[in-house]
Chain A
């Protein structure tokens, strides 16, 4: 589904990703772990198409097409979703209006019928229940005045509505208390299917107790220094990034 080869990217004078190789197949969950500043969020945003980052080398192939050629909205319509580490507040645009516009934009791109306001409300009912979201939150402006936990739940709710093929979750666990973490994790798990894939970007092992990865990759200074199975995340928790990175070097 996703093939990243020799990817180098950064801002102006600073290379942040220094040669990433990663293959993600349908049905898999990959965890990318690493210390602060290792490039985890940059990788997530480069996959989603953030123009601020310049790709200087390498390739990203998604479903056989050159992903780097596509605008962020084209990637979204092709099934890529980024759950933001810091979801953006958009005053004056209601959550429902925003999400219905986004969904319809994607449906149009896929040649499907758009949903009107009533059909949309039907469509999102069980997804709201899944994330334990109140109706009142839907009518509020996007993320405005939401608590940290509500913002993260709203991200996964958007994911549930947009049904991406490849979801990239950027530090979705940060700032969540244990109850919110369980809600968010069960939301993510219930969206797992054989034909979609998830990349979980996280600093801590905690989320991986609930969203169990098939592969774990350790990112240090813009490079994946180790890859392994779930056990690697547990080792990391025990030994810390320094030792794991040192052993890799």
Chain B
């Protein structure tokens, strides 16, 4: 991939030209991550080295309820500035690349005190080339929003960046759902939470040649709470990597992280959960759990908690499990008359349901329950 040539074709809102240029220069200087780079040991990005990908515009379908304002980035350059000030200094190479080619973005705003009824749906479809959507979401104080990002990908690469700024006392539920099989999806989600806000994140991955999710939560005001839920399903030779960071920057914040993975075929996955408790962040309560179900002997999971704690009055727990379907439970179900396949499906389904049931909106929950149900037979057949 000739990045210089690709970056030379960058265009977009003139007001963002300086950012594109600075981020582009930084990206070229840094290059793509190698397995020696921190955080990229198990996720191979050589996909990009082997081919030339054309810059494509993602198709973004918007279904916005009353109370939320959605504008193309080109029409909201000034209002977007607070989100973009530090973007040329970001360390994540694909986030830099997204800034270097910044064009296809939306600014989403919910004013103070507004409760948005019903979810804001964004369906982002890509089928080839390289697409770099950017969502900037500003939720005022004491507001409520449910935001759903659905990615449907054929092939090619989608490198989306979403930035969420959540005002004091607000509640936001954010779903990022990825449906893919042969595509590359490397996405960043950056959340900044003020005092007494609650953000619940659901990252649901149903497959893909290479999927990488980088989440960073900044808890910036006391009483802020972050709930990070994740579910990843992969089979054949798919690879899913979830890297999360929770920055406990101030006292009295809670984070609850629960990620579950189901891996079949020769799939591989990474879970890396970093919790960073800053020196003054007393009374932090951080919990993390990562559980994995391996359906075959060839599936691989690399799971790692990373706790950096610089305050002394904190509660931080973490736990990870890797296992296969419980044989006792399988026999129990079969002894009641359930066929072997049905018993397996019931157990795997219940493992996934533990994450899906955390979605508050009933219709979204049903959609994702169905998505799990639809995905499992293929995975289980491959593992049989």
A contacts, CB < 8 Å to B? 48-52, 71-73, 75-77, 81-82, 84, 87-88, 90-93, 98-99, 101-103, 105-106, 109, 141, 158, 162
Contact B346 A72 (CB under 8 A): no
Contact B351 A105 (CB under 8 A): no
A51-B331, A73-B337, A105-B337 known; A90 vs B342 contact (CB < 8 Å):
no
Contact B346 A101 (CB under 8 A): yes
Bound-state CA distance A217–B342 (Å) is 37
Contact B334 A73 (CB under 8 A): yes
Residues of chain B within 8 A (CB-CB) of A82 are: 335
| Contact of B90 with A by CB under 8 A | no
Determine which of B327, B332, B350, B354 lies in contact with A87 in the assembled complex, contact meaning CB atoms within 8 Å: B332
Residue of B nearest to A158 (CB): B336
Determine which of B328, B338, B353 lies in contact with A102 in the assembled complex, contact meaning CB atoms within 8 Å: B338
Residue of A nearest to B336 (CB): A102
Contact B332 A90 (CB under 8 A): yes
Determine which of B327, B328, B337, B353 lies in contact with A162 in the assembled complex, contact meaning CB atoms within 8 Å: B337
| Apart from A49-B335, A158-B336: 7 A-B pairs, beta carbons within 8 A | A48-B335, A71-B334, A76-B334, A81-B335, A102-B337, A105-B336, A105-B339
Task: Label chain B's interface by main secondary structure.
Answer: helix
Residue of B nearest to A105 (CB): B337
A-B pairs, top 5 by smallest CB distance, nearest first, are A92-B350, A76-B337, A102-B336, A72-B334, A88-B332
B329 nearest CB across to chain A (Å): 5
Residues of chain B within 8 A (CB-CB) of A73 are: 334-335, 337-340, 343
Residues of chain A within 8 A (CB-CB) of B351 are: 92
Residues of chain B within 8 A (CB-CB) of A48 are: 335
Residues of chain A within 8 A (CB-CB) of B354 are: 91-92
Residues of chain A within 8 A (CB-CB) of B148 are: none
Bound-state CA distance A67–B230 (Å) is 44
Residue of B nearest to A92 (CB): B350
Contact B335 A72 (CB under 8 A): yes
Contact A84 B332 (CB under 8 A): yes
Residues of chain A within 8 A (CB-CB) of B343 are: 73
Bound-state CA distance A99–B336 (Å) is 8
Bound-state CA distance A84–B334 (Å) is 13
6 examples of A-B residue contacts, CB within 8 angstroms: A75-B335, A93-B350, A98-B346, A102-B338, A105-B338, A105-B342
Counting chain A CB atoms within 10 Å of each CB, which of B339, B340, B342, B353 scores highest?
A: B339
| Contact of B333 with A by CB under 8 A | yes
A104 nearest CB across to chain B (Å): 9
A92-B353, A105-B342 known; A77 vs B337 contact (CB < 8 Å):
yes
Contact B342 A101 (CB under 8 A): yes
Bound-state CA distance A99–B335 (Å) is 12
Contact B329 A90 (CB under 8 A): yes
B333 nearest CB across to chain A (Å): 7
Contact B337 A109 (CB under 8 A): yes
Bound-state CA distance A49–B338 (Å) is 13
Residue of B nearest to A103 (CB): B337
Residues of chain B within 8 A (CB-CB) of A101 are: 338, 342, 346
Residues of chain A within 8 A (CB-CB) of B340 are: 71, 73
Bound-state CA distance A91–B328 (Å) is 13
Residue of B nearest to A101 (CB): B338
| Contact of B80 with A by CB under 8 A | no
A91-B354, A101-B338 known; A50 vs B346 contact (CB < 8 Å):
no
Residue of A nearest to B351 (CB): A92
Bound-state CA distance A2–B343 (Å) is 27
| Contact of B347 with A by CB under 8 A | yes
Bound-state CA distance A121–B339 (Å) is 23
The A-contacting residues of B in range 204-236, CB under 8 angstroms, are none
Residue of A nearest to B350 (CB): A92
The A-contacting residues of B in range 334-384, CB under 8 angstroms, are 334-340, 342-343, 346-347, 349-351, 353-354
Bound-state CA distance A77–B334 (Å) is 10
Residues of chain B within 8 A (CB-CB) of A76 are: 334-337
Bound-state CA distance A199–B343 (Å) is 26
Residues of chain A within 8 A (CB-CB) of B329 are: 88, 90
Bound-state CA distance A139–B307 (Å) is 38
Residues of chain A within 8 A (CB-CB) of B346 are: 90, 93, 98, 101
Bound-state CA distance A90–B350 (Å) is 8
Bound-state CA distance A87–B331 (Å) is 11
Residue of A nearest to B328 (CB): A88
A90-B347, A102-B336, A105-B337 known; A72 vs B342 contact (CB < 8 Å):
no
Bound-state CA distance A52–B338 (Å) is 18
Residues of chain B within 8 A (CB-CB) of A103 are: 337
Bound-state CA distance A77–B338 (Å) is 9
Contact B337 A50 (CB under 8 A): no
Bound-state CA distance A49–B346 (Å) is 20
Bound-state CA distance A93–B335 (Å) is 16
Bound-state CA distance A51–B335 (Å) is 11
Bound-state CA distance A56–B343 (Å) is 28
A142 nearest CB across to chain B (Å): 8
Residue of A nearest to B347 (CB): A90
B135 nearest CB across to chain A (Å): 32
A150 nearest CB across to chain B (Å): 16
Residue of B nearest to A142 (CB): B332
Residue of B nearest to A90 (CB): B329
Residues of chain A within 8 A (CB-CB) of B349 are: 92
A190 nearest CB across to chain B (Å): 20
Bound-state CA distance A52–B328 (Å) is 10
Residues of chain A within 8 A (CB-CB) of B347 are: 90, 93
Residues of chain A within 8 A (CB-CB) of B350 are: 90-93, 141
Residue of B nearest to A168 (CB): B335
